[in-house]
Chain A
Amino acid sequence: DIVMTQTPLSSPVTLGQPASISCRSSQSLVHSDGNTYLSWLQQRPGQPPRLLIYKISNHFSGVPDRFSGSGAGTDFTLKISRVEAEDVGIYYCMQATHFPYTFGQGTKLEIK
């Protein structure tokens, strides 16, 4: 199985400051169809996961512009340009290039 490793596992951030989460996969996530099926999910406390970013860098509907995704191959990053209170939660990267689909361990974003 593809192992997805996220760092850090916890990220205390001051409101209005940027945050960055790294996700590294044990194998390249480039699919034979040319796409890279790496997405980012947000899980607010007591809520189900929610799709934020798909195929590395594309915003899902309704996701604020302060979220951005980047990367290629095996290294990916989620950035929040200015953290707001509603961003508190756990962020997961997920790969859907190889079966079984796998998730990172999650990064807990909290406000300092």
Chain B
Amino acid sequence: EVQLVESGGGLVQPGGSLRLSCAASGFIFSSYWMHWVRQVPGKGLLWVSRTNSDGSTTTYADSVKGRFTISRDNAKNTLYLQMNSLRAEDTAVYYCARWSGYYGGMDVWGQGTTVTVSS
């Protein structure tokens, strides 16, 4: 079964750091671009970051540029999001998603992990 499972969310103080993980299974992880998308509870979706299949190319939303770092370990089939200098407005559910070049869309989504930034 194709699956993405996020972990690493939690409560952190403003200015703190957190690293999210996304474990992939059921497909050849190293063949796919991967994304992070977040959703403030009760609100819409916001694209956060993406990385190409070998991790050599990364892109970020302006709101997280310079604070967040996306990376991947293809040997461990895992995607990461290192989040530093966290702000209250970063509070959200964070989803990892697989990009399908064939479909031209995000065809597999994880269940999400919740990040709460509060003192």
Binding site for B on A (CB under 8 A): 35, 37, 39, 41, 48-51, 54-55, 58, 60, 92, 94, 96, 99-106
Contacts and interface: CB of A to CB of B under 8 A. Distances in A.
B107 A99 contact: no
12 contacts: A48-B95, A49-B95, A49-B106, A49-B109, A50-B109, A51-B105, A54-B104, A58-B103, A100-B47, A101-B35, A103-B44, A106-B45
The main secondary structure of chain A at its interface with chain B is loop
Contacts of B100: 54
Contact of B45 (A60, A92, A96): A92
Task: Report the interface size class on chain B.
Answer: 20 to 34
B14 interface: no
B103 A48 contact: no
Nearest to B110: A48
B59 interface: yes
Nearest to A101: B47
Contacts of A102: 47
Nearest to B4: A48
Contacts of B106: 39, 41, 49, 51, 94
Interface of B: 35, 37, 44-47, 59, 61-62, 95, 97, 100, 103-107, 109-112
A51 B103 contact: yes
B44 A105 contact: yes
A104 B44 contact: yes
Given A37-B105, A96-B105, A48 B111 contact: yes
A3 B106 CA distance: 19
B59 A54 contact: no
B61 A100 contact: yes
A35 B104 contact: yes
B104 A48 contact: no
B44 A106 contact: yes
Nearest to B46: A103
A40 B97 CA distance: 15
Contacts of A104: 44
B44 A51 contact: no
Contacts of B61: 100
